[in-house]
Amino acid sequence: MEPVSLHSFVCTLDLASLPRVLRVCSGVYFQGSIYEISGNECCLSTGDLIKVTQVRLQKVICENPGTGQTMEITPDFHGYFSPLTGRQSYGTLEELLSAATQCSKTLPICFMSTHRITTEAIVVPEDQPLKLEAVETHHGTYRARCVLDTETHPFILHLPLSQKGPFWEWKPGAPRPLLKALQDPALSNLLFTCPTLPWRTLILRPQYEVQAIMHMRRTIVKIPSSLEVDVEDVTSSSQHIHFIQPLLLSEALARGGPFPLCMEILEIPEGPSIFLSPWAGSLQKGQKLCIHGLASPPWRVLVSTKGRKIPRHFMVSGAYQGKLRRRPREFPTAYDLLGALQPGQPLRVVATKDCEGEGVESPGFTSLAVGDRLEVLRSGQAHGAEGRDIDVLVCQRLSDKAEEEEEEENEDVEEDDQILLPLYFSGSFVEEMNDSRRYSLEDLTAHFSLPCEVKVVAKDSSHPADPLPSFPGLRLEEKIMEPFLVVSLNSNPEMCFEIPPRWLDLTVVEAEGQPGQPAGPLPVATVEELTDAFYYSLRRLPAFKNQPPPPRPPKSQGLSGQKKQSNKEKSGQSSELLELQQAPLLKPKMQTLPRNAKDSSNTYSKVSGNRKDRRHTKSITEDGDNDDHDYEEILEQFRNTL
């Protein structure tokens, strides 16, 4: 085949013969030039081979041959086109017959008039097809015997040869839709007429998009047919040529198999590494891999260590077989308590820090002491001190067992306190729990909401190097639904791991050879340690941003307000201390924790039996001789400050 322009090749192409292999012969630009038209970029060099897989009609440009005007129509245009055999019109029927005789054409001749023809018997509309069958003598003059096809039967007309047009010769046959008119090779260089369009005659110039495969090109190349490049069809001599087409792991995942696949790495995505596992360093260009298929189950849990200054982060597969035990969760603010509150699941906590009610706007809050037990009920709103509503957490102060027995005996004892904690309240709480059950990861995530704190009490037997049991505590932060591919190295088939194509999208190409299939189950690592950079990028994903930011605490009074408040406090303290000489002494506040407590966690689920006494620490006693409190020394220090 001789070289032709790309447009000429496409216009005469039989779509049923695809795919076709073309060789680039020459272009109007220098060798190796880059063409970019309508966002389609391709680099075509002389001698390049392209495999045309599909041709799509983009649009059709209609041109008026008389004026040069153009207009675009879409491929779904509904008009019908009639082809004209000549590129010029004739003024009379005699000129039409003369031109046909010169071209050695025989009768009949199909023609049409762009103007209405009026006779005594009938009126022929414009653009109505007619057939000139013979020239006869009619009433002593030469006339053209023409046939007009009507809906009922053919009608015979005898038109004088001097009948004025203009007349156009047209190709016999029914009018064709746009696609049929373009696909007929015999009509490629003819004029058309279409009653739907404003011009009597027009030229159809189709614009195609050629989709092709190029060697070592990952994506489909889209080339406009208007590209000025010459090509040669070499399909018959290129049957042995294999076009190597790279693909991404995400594309292999989308194809869904067939697995296993033997691949070779062509390119590693740029950026910092995401895993700290030993296999991560083996992913280099030229390394051969075996993709075994989709990992199951498709979910992972993001885990961070507890109890260390520098936490470590892991991604744990849903197939993890270790056993876990729940640990009490810690909540630094009331807002964190609200986030952990789940419908139908009671949440009881113990205060681990003394908190006074000063500076708290909520009128339903007085103070909390270490060991106070609370049950979180619901969220709500309360009327603040400055006349505005504030978001609060409604909690019930719980009694210990001793006090509950007293309340059963004494019906007059008032009910437990209900306190309102502002969401910005920065106390310190720990969850009260008595759960010694050993859970699998699947059961734990199914029955409890995340985040959740656990301790691994039995490692995954399928993962000998399981690092999770060595940590005193773990925080299960989020459940991630993301497909992973099970991959192994050809150089070390025993090293199996899981790759997330979304975050580690390798560029690979099919490698020669049959992938090996292990006899038993694949020894896949179920725990992968993450780099800090990748961990924090995960935390920035939209899935982790479903919670609004915590509320801001009320604005402070400022420096001047603090000075006024401190002056008031000093004056109040002086008056109170002067009154101590006549008033009875204050009863000391009892300790809430034993001095010799070695493990503070044991006290989280216990409540001091003297909680009522703590509420009355400011009550006045009758015993003024308390040797444990030297108030005289306090008065002496106060006089010295004056």
pLDDT tens string 180-199: 888 887 787 788 888 889 88
CA–CA separation, 583 and 274 (whole Å): 70
Phi, psi of 99 (to 5 degrees): -65, -35
Q: Dig out the tokens for 29 from the structure.
A: 């630009």
> Considering only CA atoms, which of 335, 319, 317 is closest in space to residue 376?
335
Give the pLDDT score at 385.
Answer: 65
Give the pLDDT score at 54.
Answer: 92
Q: How many other CB atoms are found less than 10 A from the CB of residue 383?
A: 13
Strands (E), 442-538: 452-458, 473-481, 485-489, 496-499, 507-510, 527-530
Phi, psi of 495 (to 5 degrees): -90, 95
Q: What is the DSSP string of 194-215?
A: -TTSSSSSBEEEEEEEEEEEET
CA–CA separation, 178 and 204 (whole Å): 9
Order of strands across the sheet that contains 191-193: 176-177, 80-84, 191-193
CA–CA separation, 432 and 301 (whole Å): 24
Give the pLDDT score at 560.
Answer: 43
Question: 617 or 275: whose pLDDT is higher?
Answer: 275
Three-state SS for 76? coil
Residues 6+ apart with CB under 8 A from 543: 478, 480
Distances (CA, A) of 122 to 117, 173, 356: 9, 23, 109
Mean pLDDT computed over 239-268: 87
> Considering only CA atoms, which of 330, 350, 353, 440 is closest in space to residue 398?
350
Give the pLDDT score at 584.
Answer: 37
Phi, psi of 280 (to 5 degrees): -60, -35
> Considering only CA atoms, which of 224, 194, 208, 229 is closest in space to residue 63?
194
Question: 275 or 151: whose pLDDT is higher?
Answer: 275
- 176: pLDDT strictly greater than 80: yes
Mean pLDDT computed over 601-624: 40
Mean pLDDT computed over 441-456: 89
- 434: pLDDT strictly greater than 50: yes
Mean pLDDT computed over 229-243: 87
> Considering only CA atoms, which of 56, 157, 169 is closest in space to residue 109?
169
Give the pLDDT score at 542.
Answer: 63
Mean pLDDT computed over 286-297: 90
Q: Dig out the tokens for 94 from the structure.
A: 């005699």
Number of residues that make up the chain: 642
Give the pLDDT score at 546.
Answer: 53
- 57: pLDDT strictly greater than 90: yes
Residues 6+ apart with CB under 8 A from 613: 590
Distances (CA, A) of 272 to 54, 268, 275: 39, 11, 9
- 571: pLDDT strictly greater than 90: no
Least confident of 28-42, 77-91, 163-177: 28-42
Strands (E), 295-364: 299-306, 313-317, 323-326, 330-331, 347-351, 355-356
pLDDT level of residue 550 (50, 70, 90 thresholds): low
Give the pLDDT score at 411.
Answer: 41
pLDDT level of residue 535 (50, 70, 90 thresholds): very high
End-to-end CA gap in the chain: 114
Q: How many other CB atoms are found less than 10 A from the CB of residue 57?
A: 18
Mean pLDDT of the chain: 77
Mean pLDDT computed over 352-376: 76
